[in-house]
Chains A and B, each alone.
Chain A
Amino acid sequence: MPAHDWDGRFSRMLGDLPEAAPEETASSRLKARVYSALVRAQQETGPLQSLTKCEEAGRGLCMWEKLVQISPIGEKAKEPFLCWTCHARVLGEHIEKAPIWWAHCPYADFQKR
Chain B
Amino acid sequence: MGEQNSPNSTGAADRDLTSLTAAQLAAGLTAGEYSSTEVTRAHLDRIEATEAQIGSFITVTPDAALAAAADVDRRRAAGEELHPYAGVPVALKDLVVTQGIRTTAGSKILEDWVPPYDATVYAKIRAAGLPVLGKTNLDEFAMGSTTEHSAFHVTRNPWDTDTVPGGSSGGAASAAAAFQAPLSVGTDTGGSVRQPAAFTGTVGVKPTYGSVSRYGIIAMASSLDQVGPIGRTVADAAALHQLMAGHDPHDSTSLREPVPDFLAAAAAGTREGSLKGRRLGVVKQIMSDGCASGVAAAFDRVLALAEAAGAEIVEVDMPSLSYALDAYYLLMPSEVSSNLARYDGMRFGLRVEPETGPVTAETVMAATRAAGFGSEIKRRILLGTYALSAGYYDAYYGSAQKVRTLVQRDFAAAFEQADVLVSPTAATTALPFGEEESGDPMALYVGDSSTIPANLAGIPGMSLPAGLAEGMPVGFQLLAPAREDARLYEVGAAVEALVSADRGGPVWQSAPTQYSSEAAAATATNA
Answer whether A and B are interacting partners. no
| Interface, chain A (partner B; CB < 8 A) | none
